[in-house]
Every structure is written in C-alpha cells, then in structure tokens.
Structure 1
C-alpha cells in the first residue's frame, strides 16, 4: 500500500513534541508548552523566520521544541504544522475547516457540534453519550478541551496549529488514542505588535479579529485579542423566510506574563466564548409518495410546502427554530522555575462550557406531527500538571511529571411528543491521576533512542434518571492503565534523518448514557477501554541546498476492544448501544513535500493513502431499508457483519496542493497569488449505506491581492470553490421517518456554492 502525503510551510514555526522537554506532554499539556514559551508573538515571529528563510532561498520549517529554533526535518514525529498565514491563504477560519488542509484528518459536521466527529487515520469516536471520550484530543495553549464541541468555533488569534497523527496516549493521555490537534495562540512579546484582519464575503459573511501584544514594563507583558464573525447560512427556511445553517461567534482572550526574576516566570491567561448556530438539513432525495411517519395525508406538499428535494436543494421547511446557543470561559496559570540546569513547569487550568440545543426533530412544518428535541450539555474541567525537565542540549535528556484531572458533565434531554419520546437527566464524572516520563539518549553520535511510559489511575462515575420509565441508576468504576513509546532515530546526514516508533494507545472506559439506558445496561457496568498498538517508520529529507523537502511516514495500527455502536442481546432483549465491538486496523503512507522554485514562488502539497478496515465487527446495526442482498442478516434483531469492511469516514486518498507566488510589483509592493487544490476520494458516512456515500470530489480556491513588501498590510480578493463543485461533508438516512421510503438529508458545507470575498489585514 502506498500513499503520498506532502505538506509544508515555508517560513513556519513548528512545535513538535518528540524531543527534549517536549516529550513530557500529557493530556493536560498537549500543546508543546515549552515551545509556546518561546514563540515570540506567534505569527509575528513566524513571519520574521520566514523572511530570513526567503532571503537565502532555503525552506526553513522551524521548531522551538527545545527552546531554540531547529529544523523540523530533525524531529522524528509525524506532525503537520499550519501557521496563521497558511490558514488565511487556504480559507481556514474555523475549526471545522481544518479537514480541508490536513490530509489524515476528517471532520464530519452534524446538526450541532456535540454530534460532530473528528477522526485521524480513519479512527474517531462515533457515539453521542456524555461520558464517551474523543479519540482525537484538542488543546489550546496546553489546556485540554474536555468537551470537543468547544473547539467548533473560530480560530481568531492562532500562531500555529499542529496535527499529531497516530496514538499519543503516552505523552498526552487517554483522550488522544488516535491523535492530537494542538492550537497555539499568540504569546506576550518584548516589543509591541498588532495584528488585525477583517473579512467580507458575497454571501453576507463578515467578521473581524485583532491581537495586540507587548510590554507593560520590563517585567510584565500582555496579549489582548478578540474576534467576531457572523454568517447567516446557505440554507433558506421557507417556513419563515430566514437563512439557516449559519453561525455567530464572539471570542476574547487575555494573557499577562510576569518575569518575577530571571529564574521565575508566571503567565496567567483567560478566555471567553459566546456564540450560536442555526440548523438546516435539506432533503437531497425523497421518494415520490413518501409520508411523514407513514401517516396518511402527510405528503411532502403538506409537510414541507415550497421545498423541492434534490441534490442542489438549499431549502428546508421547519416550523421550529433549530439552533444551538453556547458559552464558556477558561483560565490557565503557567509557572516556569529554573533550578540550576533543571526546569520545573507547572500548569493549572479550569474550564467551564455550556451548549443548549434545540432541534425540530421531525424536520418539517407538518401541521399535525410535531416533534422537538431539546437539551443541554454542561462541562467543567480542572487540571494540574507539574514537570521536571533536564537541559535540552545534552546527549541524555529526560522529563518526569505528574498529572491530575477532574471533569464533570451534565445532560438534561427531552424529546417528543409525537414519536420517540424521551425525558431523562444524566451526569458523568472522571478523576484521573497519572505519572509519566520520557528519556532521549544519543548513545551513539547521531543515533538517539527514546523510551517513554505513562501509568494512570482513573475513576469514572455516573447517574441516570429516566422520567418516563421512572427509574434511576448510578454507578462507578476504576481502572489502572499503562502506555509506552519506544523510538529510534538516526541523523544519517545533515539533510537525511530516519526514524522508527512503536507506541501503545489507550482510550478510557465509559458508560453509554443515552436514550434507552436501563437496568440491563446498568448491570453490565462500564464499557471496557479501547487499546491500540502502533508502528511507524519514516524518513525526512532535504535537497538542492534545502530548497526542497520530501518526507515519508508509514504507519500500521491495530485497535482492540473498539468502542462503537452495536446490537447487544441481554436476557433475551436486544439493545442498540455503545460497546466493545471488536477490532480495527489502519495503515497507510503519509508524504510531505515543498519546493521553493524561486525566491517568490513556493509549491507545496500533502496527501495520505489510507487503508482502514474493521478486523472484527460481527453485529453492527443494519441501516434503514437495508436488504438481505445488501448484507442485512435477519434476526430478530436484524444485524450486519462489518468484519473486513472499510471503516466509515476513511477516504482512501486525501490531499491538497498549494501555490504561493509573491512577485515584486514595485520596490514597496508585492503581488499575492495563492491557489489551492483539495481532493478527497469517495467515502461512506455509515457503513455500506448508499444514501450516505459521498463520491470523490475536488475543490479549488484562488486568492489574488497585493501586500506591503514587509507584510505590514495585505489586501486580498478570494474565491472559494472556484468551479462551484457540490459535495456533502455529512449525509443522514431518514428513511425510518418516512415509512422506510427513500429520504436523505445533508449538512451542507460552508463552500457548497462558490463564493467570493475580500480580506484585509494589518501586521505591525
């Protein structure tokens, strides 16, 4: 199996966590916080590094993982780095857009962020219970997000984003069994810097953001940043004439850096988030004569007047405003203390988040059948981490640490009254204590061995109250787990490095706290942890006086006790529930490359070849209307065997290519020509379900503009989805709602139709 993934960033800061002190990351510090401490003004420093690289023509992708700039070509870790400039050039303005530029990453949206799914290398979390952890961790400035939905917002003050592929449990904890997305924001600087952007589009999106950083006095530094964006959406609700499938978001962040002495430093940060989304899922297919809930008279003309289902449909008819409202805040205190040659790092964080969701569950304007779904998600997270770090420049380096986390969730849920009634309230909690360590030893010149381990204890608990069945349940469980990583890297020449890694992954036990929870589920206890074993080998190369890079990584990972939805029979009663279904294998190749053709022209690209297959999944639910010929085995209950089937949300090929051309127009002005191509091969959103099959598609984006030659300002006209290609990032089989006749809905992407806009930025 072969694949080609190419990625790069001319002139980028990179933080990779496989060297020196960066090895000591845990779930609470999944951002390389030692690197963060030295990222001077984030994007501003990246631009400075970029200009130096551009002057001599070299492609210098740098990392501050060891508190100094070093070439990422020497870092033995499969990681992709995206700077603020790259994100802007490729039209990435919110978290969900990252799926466009990270070939191993697929983000599937849903009616609200809680049900969205993030997967890396074909592995993600396909469940909706509040106690179910994500397989892909997300952190911001070293602080984990307990609730992945909190990440689905704008990216206003990003210095860089790193996507670490494959199991990261040894370094980052139990919520990174498939990988990690690290978001690093702008840091305080010794000099004043201001960065601001404003964007307006032809389809009525507008937004602005800014970040200001600088000194208060010789000992104090600050960062103040904020952003606001508003987009009505690209779906029209004909019932009330309003646009939906849009969003509105306000972000704010502040940081204060205090150098108490040359050996003691503190950084206090706080953030606030407030926003809302509107929901509209158009019918892109509906059988003639289909009746809502198979009820006489409930035809499409009655339940959704004015809507014509079809592949290009951008209309819905909902008599209830489907939407979400969310807000949250968090804070973090970072402490750096020098003890001779050693360093002590402390991270303390607190985060609180709430999302209220309101859904027109029948998805129509039926005058007689009305079903609503209303609920809330509430999360609270406290973490504490302490690390002891050896010097970065010695042949024998180590990091030791301890980590504590306490997280709590609440979920009230109400659905009805017409069908599928539900009324329940659940809570879930987790307490984790962990110790970790990692050693890097250059025992022979240019040959470095890595040994890392993590031991943790976790206690989980829950309560569930069903107000319809008049039942209440509660329980708890604890678990001990260890993970480890072994690695070997060899710097064959200054331009060639090879490496190999073997790592184990772990995803914690949980309870399936969803509609239908009952005594039988309670008696089964928690779902067992999901574990994995991962092998990686890679090579990092540079050519033509470092004007070209070419990197390859091969991976092969086996997951056992895979957590997924299945059918389970208990005492003669069949239940659809989350449980341990069997196994999955994911393997493939990831390539990264870039070439600076001339001083003003850079070409880059990335692609992943992926083979993700269920090695054991004997009792999966049949999709609605699935026949025996399509693999549905008659029960009761009916089920299908997915063993040997390709995993969902796992395209065989995914990649992108980029052109960045900035020719001099005058001695003070440069032109801006940026073009990107994004490709995704076909994939299923539900196994074997033809209604959730997305054919292969390509999207092209184009930017044209002008900038000051020192990049102090920039004006760009952009066109996204240049050739107006339609595709669906999420498809829903709704046959069961229409008497088992064809009914398919879609969540439309931001660029479902071609749109243009203007972006203007300042950078001083």
Structure 2
C-alpha cells in the first residue's frame, strides 16, 4: 500500500471498530425488523431468532451486501471474515473455504467441504452458486461442521442463500446501475397475489461488465462478465395449514479471465525457445505489480447455463409440520484457456472442455413446534448426481484428450433433538447416517483406454451440545460436532492405471468443539457475540500440483494426514440512534497442517528449501493452510437522516474490509498474497417511504491493488515469472445505483 492510503485505510478500520465498541461483529440483516433486534434464520431447518441458535452463524442482509458492493458469489468473502473464496478461470475449479477449510480440486466428482444451499436445496455442483445474488432476502454463513443436518458436503460449514418470497400485495420494482468503468446492470421484480390463495414473484437481472484487463494482441478488454438470470416463484395456500412453493430459476452467462505477468526476470524465454523472448511472447507489456495487460490469441473464458426447479410442500398438522422438498437441476458449462499464454501464431497451445451436471434430490422433514419443551427435527434425504466432463489440451505440449462421467447415489436419515430440562437450559443431540454409492468411467481418447470403477461408503455423524441462558437476551452454548465428506475418484488429466488401481481417495472426517457467547444489550440496540473453536480434520482432501521438468503441471487429488484449525470470532451490531446501524466482524484463525509429509514441491524449490526424495516432495507439517489469512475484519455503516420535515432522506453507507497475508498451499514465498484493505462509500437520496432511491458510490476508495490468486510459472520461462489474477475491484471505480418500486 502507498503510505497515505494505507494510513487512511487503517484509520477507517479503527473508526468502525471504535464506533462498534469492538473490532469485531456480525453484520446482521437489514431486511428484518431491526427495531426489535430480531433476525429470523433457518440455520437449523426451522425458523429461529439467530441469537437463540447454538451455532456460529452470520447473517448478511440486503443493505450490507449493497454497501460492500456484493453482486455475485465471489464477493461474499468481503463481508464474512470466516469465509474465503478463490475464483478461477473455470467456476468449477473455484474454491470456497470456511475457517480456512475448503476443497480445491479439478476432479469433477470431488464434492466441496463447504455446502451451498439455495432455498432449502443443496447444490451438488458448487459452481452453480457462482452467479449473481439478485433478489436475495438474506445469506446465512454457518461455520464449522454441519453434516448432521445438511449432509456430506458440509464438513467445514455451509452457505444458506434465501431468496425473497411472493408478497401479499401487488408490488413492482426496477433498478439499474452504471459505473465509470463501463459496467451496466438492470433488474426488475414483479410480485403479488394472483388469487386469494395463489401468489407469485418473478425477477430478472442482467449485468454486463466488459472487464478491467487489456489484451494488447487484439485491443479487446477482458476479465469481465455478462449474465442474465431470472427467479420465479409460485406460492399456494389453499388452507391455513398447507403451503406449496414452486420455484423455477434460470441463469445464462459468460466470463473472461486473465492472469497478467506481475514479475518477470531478465532474459526470460518461453519454454526454452531462444526466439521467444519477452518482446515476442509479451510485446508492449510493462511488467510490474500493477500490470493488468496480457497478449494472448485464445482468450480464457467460460460460458454456462443453469435450469433449476424445486417444489416445497409444508403441512401444519397442529402439532408437527410435515415438509417435502423435491428438486431438479441441470448445469452446463463450456470453458477454454490459452495454455501457452502468448499470441505467437507459430506457437499455439490451448485447452477447452465441457461440464454437464444433473441432480435430483428429495427431502422429507418432520418438525415439531418451536415453543415446545421437547423439540425435534427428523428427516430423510435422497440425491442422485451425474457429472460429465470432457477435456482437450494441446497440440504442442502437455497433451490431454479425455472424457469422463461421475455418478453419486446417496440416501440418509437424520435428526436433531432439543430438550429443556429446566427453564433457560437446552440439551441438544443429533445424528445422521448415510450410505453413498459412487462410480466413474474415464475414457482416455489419446491412448484409446477406458477405465471404470465403483465404490460405496456408509458413515454416521453426530452433534452434542448444551445452551444456557445466563440473563435476559444473554446465553452461552457448548457444542461438539463431527463431519464427513465422501470418498472421491481422482478424475483429471494424468489419470492412468495406477490411479485406477488405487481406487477412491479416502473420505474426509472432521470434529469441532465450539464455545459461544450471545448477548443483546441496551434494549437490544447492541449485539455482541463471541465464539471460540477448535477443529480437527483427518484425511483432508486437497489438490496437489506437481511441476514437471518440461514446464507442464500435473494435478492429483490426495489426502492430508491431519489438519488443525482453531480461532476466535467476535461479532457486534450497534444501533445507537434511529437510522444508524454499525456492524463489524473479526476472525482470528490459526489453521495448520499437522501431518502432510508427501506434499508437492513448489516451482524450482531446492533440497535446501525442503524439496527432497524421488519423486521430490516436501513436508508441510506445521505449515499454514491454503486460503486462511490469520486476521480478517469487516465493518459497515448504514445511516439514513430525514431532510427537515420533507419527504426526503439522506442515505450514507460505508464499508471496510482488511485481511492479513495469505500463504499458498505449497508455501511458495513468491506467491504469498500480501495483506490488503478495501474501503467503499456511498451517498444518496431516497423517499421517506423508500419507494425510490438514488445512490452514488465509490468502490476501492483508496485504489488499493491486490490479487486474489498468484501463480509461479518460472519453470516455463527459465527465470522468475509470476502471474497475478485481477479482481473486479482492482482499480477504484464509481457509479450510480437507482431503484424505484411501488
């Protein structure tokens, strides 16, 4: 950071912390009735006040998402310190981590450690979540193992996305946004009753951002996105006891990505060819830490479409509520990549492929009334997932040509019981038992070989806990939970007979001990929550990158012996006066590999640096995990002030995020992501009844340049060569948001 800018960022961070009474806090949803201080969530598959939930859960509402410029899934890590998201050229390869734990894997059949739930439906293919977040009521981030209630893809936590429901009166709204760097967004919502018992809601959203990286080979702008999405709901209430919700969602989009050089040594040549000097493979590019220019002839990108349907039936028997959730989803994507990183016409190597994912799921629940002394949530779950992937890379080097299918068939039963033996004391016990069958077929088209296999796994997880009220609006809880992520076949380039003979990679298992304090003070104007935790993972699944002598890379899925994560999460929300809300959050995270003796070496790592043996390996035991900054904080301020006695209000918003450095999985000192901070501000006018609003905003106020991923490709150039991916807010930009509703 530049000196003055860094000082301004630090001061802004401190102001948020001081105003909040602590350098931490949960950013609570503004969509709820904040006058009562109640936030209703469904974190435990029933509606509860978030302060009564014995979980570390953060709720993100519409106002906070807007203040932090959150438009798509990638942006969520800015507002949730325990959440880290690492995008990729292909969304299927993106990584989502909670408390430093997330699965990074190119194999299409490897499920994530962090589950994503959209309107009660688990997304089997996580990349489906990497779209826009329009028409969202709230987002709940549940930290720690959630396998007992949510299944095998939640061994590290989950993200629960809840979209807005049909309204009881006819409403309509339109919104738009335009920015100084040529992004345009427009959306509309229409909602209301069709009959006395049938309501609807439909929303559409379109966004077009050309990008913030120049391709000097053709003069075009890259690193952008374009997408269209629509959410549609019907809600039928034929009686007071019965409710049916039908949802149909569709999304279609396109992205481009770049990884410009940010460091390049003298006398660099591309893949050992003395004719391919920097003036040839990177003509006109000034290589430095702020570079965003590339020169390529096969732009990296991705197109996708998704069509999802779900039916949710709920019947209140007068005692327990019976619920059924049926869902189907079809996700397709096509990706392409310039693997020679140049525009040399005589030297062209590229890759492309397709993903095709289809999922069917059925869940049944029996939920007791929430006010009973003895409460229960019982259920059964079934899912069937089929994923197809074809891939080509070549023709000059690192050749690959294959297609593969992965299948998963799972059935599970689960339940959670809560009992109040005394007023203010709650005992908690839950369990889940699952059986899963997986299979694959891998066809190596280049070698005319076909491999196939199948396996099954039965497993159980459980949760125990106690919650104790210690005063009005104040409680303590202690929980112990286990998690499980299923076995997986390593289906990717480099698959061979040895991988086929090895069978699936072992399941990932976790356990977590969590102690939490929840409080609301001063007539619920102040919320202060503190959580401490200690988690252990065994056979943690991760992607190892092997850098070969010819400059190519081979990816393999592997199990890490043991991982240990412990830390502290502090949370606060303050409403000191009418119209002013101050939120903040802080996470301290100590995430380390306890046992990882066979890790791949980083590029050009020497024996003196710990790369030894045949094949060369390094011991990462005791080292920091991937995507786990030790410190991360976020805060935002939302203020509305009436202008005199008139019908107008002045609206001001501010948001700040900061995180410490991030060390890569292979511990390469050249690809450490330095600490950085981000400040966004907005100022505008709206009507007192909030029917219209005009906001001007500036994102990345102090123009802080950071990279969300840094690659070391020195083995391809004969000298130091580092590339850094460009985030959406790499440069400062401003804009105007407008909305109107009636």
TM-score by length of 1: 0.91
Q: Does 1:173 align with 2:180?
A: no
What do the CA deviations read for 1:496-551 (whole angstroms, capped 9, x no partner)? 11001100000000000011111111111111100001000000112222221110
- SS for the counterpart of 2:66 is helix
Mapping for residues 158-169 of structure 1, pairs under 5 Å: 158-169=136-147
- SS for the counterpart of 1:499 is strand
Mapping for residues 669-688 of structure 1, pairs under 5 Å: 669-688=648-667
Q: Does 1:589 align with 2:607?
A: no
Out of 267, 286, 306, which is 1:328 matched to? 306
What do the CA deviations read for 1:624-675 (whole angstroms, capped 9, x no partner)? 1112232222x22111100000111100000112222212213311111111
Out of 356, 359, 381, which is 1:378 matched to? 356
C-alpha spacing 1:214/1:67, structure 2 compared with 1 (3 Å):
farther
Which residue in the other structure is 1:522 paired with? 500
Which residue in the other structure is 1:238 paired with? 216
Q: Tell me, yes or no, if the aligned pair for 1:104 and 1:165 is still in contact at 8 Å.
A: yes
Task: Determine the C-alpha separation between the residues in 2 that align with 1:477 and 1:428.
Answer: 12
Which residue in the other structure is 2:4 paired with? none
Out of 206, 228, 249, which is 1:271 matched to? 249
Mapping for residues 643-662 of structure 1, pairs under 5 Å: 643-662=621-640
Displacement of 1:310: 1.2
Q: Tell me, yes or no, if the aligned pair for 2:27 and 2:585 is still in contact at 8 Å.
A: no
Which residue in the other structure is 2:580 paired with? 601
Mapping for residues 258-657 of structure 1, pairs under 5 Å: 258-566=236-544, 577-633=556-612, 635-657=613-635
Which residue in the other structure is 2:80 paired with? 102
Which residue in the other structure is 1:186 paired with? 164
Q: Tell me, yes or no, if the aligned pair for 1:59 and 1:595 is still in contact at 8 Å.
A: no
C-alpha spacing 1:576/1:130, structure 2 compared with 1 (3 Å):
closer
- SS for the counterpart of 1:293 is helix
- SS for the counterpart of 2:670 is helix
Displacement of 1:318: 0.6
After the TM superposition, which of the residue ranges 129-138 and 682-691 deviates more from structure 2? 682-691
Task: Determine the C-alpha separation between the residues in 1 that align with 2:248 and 2:210.
Answer: 29
Task: Determine the C-alpha separation between the residues in 1 that align with 2:100 and 2:700.
Answer: 25
| Structure 2: unaligned runs, 5 residues or longer | 1-21, 547-552
Q: Tell me, yes or no, if the aligned pair for 2:280 and 2:344 is still in contact at 8 Å.
A: yes
What do the CA deviations read for 1:669-697 (whole angstroms, capped 9, x no partner)? 11111111100101123332122111111
Displacement of 1:338: 2.6
Task: Determine the C-alpha separation between the residues in 2 that align with 1:261 and 1:66.
Answer: 26
Task: Determine the C-alpha separation between the residues in 2 that align with 1:611 and 1:10.
Answer: 25
Task: Determine the C-alpha separation between the residues in 2 that align with 1:70 and 1:146.
Answer: 26
Equivalent residues, number: 714
| Structure 1: unaligned runs, 5 residues or longer | 13-42, 569-573
After the TM superposition, which of the residue ranges 689-698 and 549-558 deviates more from structure 2? 689-698
What do the CA deviations read for 1:701-747 (whole angstroms, capped 9, x no partner)? 111111112222111100000000111111111112213x2111111
TM-score by length of 2: 0.94
Task: Determine the C-alpha separation between the residues in 1 that align with 2:417 and 2:587.
Answer: 30
Displacement of 1:65: 7.0
Aligned-residue Cα RMSD (Å) equals 1.8
Mapping for residues 14-93 of structure 1, pairs under 5 Å: 43=31, 46=32, 49-50=33-34, 53=35, 59-63=37-41, 71-93=49-71
Task: Determine the C-alpha separation between the residues in 2 that align with 1:360 and 1:410.
Answer: 22
Displacement of 1:364: 0.8
- SS for the counterpart of 1:315 is coil
- SS for the counterpart of 1:699 is strand
Task: Determine the C-alpha separation between the residues in 1 that align with 2:293 and 2:249.
Answer: 36
Out of 698, 702, 706, which is 2:677 matched to? 698
Q: Tell me, yes or no, if the aligned pair for 1:647 and 1:687 is still in contact at 8 Å.
A: no
Out of 728, 747, 750, which is 2:725 matched to? 747
Task: Determine the C-alpha separation between the residues in 1 that align with 2:152 and 2:63.
Answer: 32
